[in-house]
Chain A
Amino acid sequence: MDLGEINPVLLVASLMVAATPLLLAAIGELVVEKAGVLNLGVEGMMIVGAISGFAISVETGSPWLGFIAAAIGGAVLSLLFVLLTQVALANQVASGLALTLFGLGFSALLGQSYVGVKPPSMGDIHIPLISDIPVIGPILFQHDPILYVGIALTAAVWATLKYTRVGLILRAVGENHDAAHALGYKVIKIRIMAILFGGACAGLGGAYISLIRVPQWTEGMTAGVGWIALALVVFASWKPWRALLGAYLFGGITVLQLNLQAAGVAIPVEYLAMSPYIITILVLVILSADKSSAPASLGRTFHASH
């Protein structure tokens, strides 16, 4: 055992990478839930994003086009959720689960000819001088561009929700859709936009796995990240910066766990593997004192009957 072998700088840098897919998906879902909609289909939208992004970047040779395609792919799948829950007024829990089932199957069909193919590489940003600063350089300035997109998206969502009129309306719709409707806001339209945004973000998160983190296409490769993203939103009590923190915590536990193993610390692996979930539960308990955080209309169907 030698804990000195764990380099804290590299640990932080790699946990940021591990956290990015989670963060992207969670930020999208956060907006969806802020609008009062619970979409449990994150996993399905991620995997469809993963294959759309992978296929397009392989065909075009451009990872950037791939990521755009991934966002579109995720959003298109979420359109199904829109049809079900906003047009046909179906139950959101069941629709989300169905979306995941459908997405997993659909992505596998699309991906049949992409198994064993290597996608074009995106490469890391390297800014001379700044990226070479010790400690800060590797942590902050030596990553792939999408990682920064994730952080920027977090900031943008935070600012939008907090300071803009759009954010205010979105929150109003999520808190009390009847009141928002009475005030003349288009509840359904706003929710549709939020769901599509959520789908696009989940798609990006999925493509981050298939294009940067792994990079490879295999069926079911998101392996449950979408579910963790759902937990993360609640963990963050619907606050964007807390989602970022939470994503790093989740990613961090996995990376730290592997680090401890590699350093030869005799840890019971299965207990450490369950620790992120147990910690989430503990945080949930602590946060549950803060009753104001959950959007009041979350998961309820809206129909303007008058």
Chain B
Amino acid sequence: MKFTTLLASAAMALGLASGAMAEDKTKVGFVYVGPVGDGGWTYEHNKGRLAVEEHFGDKVETVFVESVPEGPDAERVMTQMALEGADLIFTTSFGYMDPTINVAKKFPDVKFEHATGYKTAPNVSVYSARFYEGRAVQGHIAGNMTKSNIIGYIGSYPIPEVIRGINSAYIHAKKVNPDVEFKIVWAYTWFDPAKEADAATVLIEQGADVILQHTDSTAPQAAAQEAGNVVTFGQASDMSEYAPFPRVSSIIDDWAPYYIARTQAVMDGTWETANTWDGIREGMVAIGEITDAVPADVKEEALALKAAMAAGEYHPFTGPLKKQDGSDWLAEGETADDGTLAGMNFYVEGLEGEIPQ
């Protein structure tokens, strides 16, 4: 416990008066749904905030409030930030959608950016990341790496975001390994590391030798390490402490480029409402280092797949694709439209089991 450093900074703070703020600073607010110490979702957004501070230095001031419940508390925190002169506010949880719209109505001069939602306004933009592009790369590696042909998948809640990831990973695993089978477990919680550990153990016991996770803790990595021969991927953060094995790669949310660009736009007066859904190409989704545990040819293919998506030449949902019930979804060469993807509530053909309702 770093008490010594805490005490040292305490001594300093006692001597400090509140610093006077320069008027020309751009003030950027961040509303977080979890604690910055969650090591996952909020942690990555906070890294984006720190990147903004580093990039602009004295020209910006950032503020944040963490662990803000969705609903009236979020609305109050946003209002408070706006009252105190924030020029731009990022609200980083789906459940902040209606509060963001409400507050934005009251402060037409303040710009709002809402993550993962779909409601926009003249001063409200929405932004989200195409994680499913990363899932495609993961699926490709997973399909190649599995020997038991069973891939375990840990989901949080059955929402479109998670379902999209499962479909994307499955399509690409199946492409390289027609015998592959997905076992999907829903944890029904956003955050419960112990339960994630249980879920991973269960999947491993039932023969899965690759675990994909749509939950943020490293619990599945540890379970895989203990099992010895199970492959995992980092989620939300790089989880490189488990590299080179079991963690062979990862999908990282990198919000920094977007946050910097939007802050710049506010400074320049060029900010406009937008509906941004960025992926690998724009750098919002990053693929963590693919370790040497992955055979060289597989790694090369995976990087090629990533490059194709980065160049905009390849879409993970390209026909011919059928839905789970056998009905046609995408014809040969057709790619999925964003509307369908955003609200995806079906499995693609080949996946077993039902999406719980």
Contacts and interface: CB of A to CB of B under 8 A. Distances in A.
A293 interface: no
Contacts of B206: 5-7, 259, 262-263
A118 B202 contact: no
Interface of B: 1-2, 34-35, 37-40, 43, 152, 183-186, 188-189, 191-199, 201-203, 205-208, 217-219, 222, 237, 241-242, 352-354, 356
A116 B193 contact: no
A223 B192 contact: yes
B219 A223 contact: no
Contacts of B199: 258
A108 B35 contact: yes
A220 B195 CA distance: 13
Interface stretch (A91-99, A183-191, A265-273): A265-273
Contacts of A270: 188, 356
A220 to B, nearest CB: 7
B217 A262 contact: no
Interface of A: 5-7, 10-11, 14, 17-18, 21, 55, 108, 110-113, 115-118, 209, 213-216, 218-225, 254-255, 258-259, 261-264, 266, 268-270, 273
Contact of B205 (A11, A110, A117, A213): A11
B37 A269 contact: no
A264 B217 contact: no
B197 A214 contact: yes
B160 to A, nearest CB: 17
B138 to A, nearest CB: 19
Ranked 10 nearest A-B pairs via Cβ: A223-B192, A118-B241, A214-B193, A219-B35, A10-B205, A258-B202, A219-B37, A214-B219, A115-B37, A261-B185
Nearest to A15: B198
Contacts, number: 118
A269 B188 CA distance: 8
Nearest to B219: A214
Contact of A115 (B43, B203, B219, B353): B43
B185 A209 contact: no
Contacts of A261: 184-186
A55 to B, nearest CB: 5
Contacts of B188: 269-270, 273
Contacts of A11: 205
Given A214-B219, A216-B218, A262-B206, A115 B39 contact: yes
B181 to A, nearest CB: 9
Contacts of A17: 201
Contacts of A214: 193-194, 196-197, 217-219, 222
B37 A264 contact: no
B195 A254 contact: yes
Contacts of B37: 108, 111-112, 115, 218-219
B198 A262 contact: no
Contacts of A268: 356
A5 B185 CA distance: 14
Contacts of B197: 213-214
Contacts of A216: 39, 193, 217-219, 222
B193 A258 contact: no
Contacts of A224: 192
A18 B194 contact: yes
A264 B356 contact: no
A219 B207 CA distance: 32
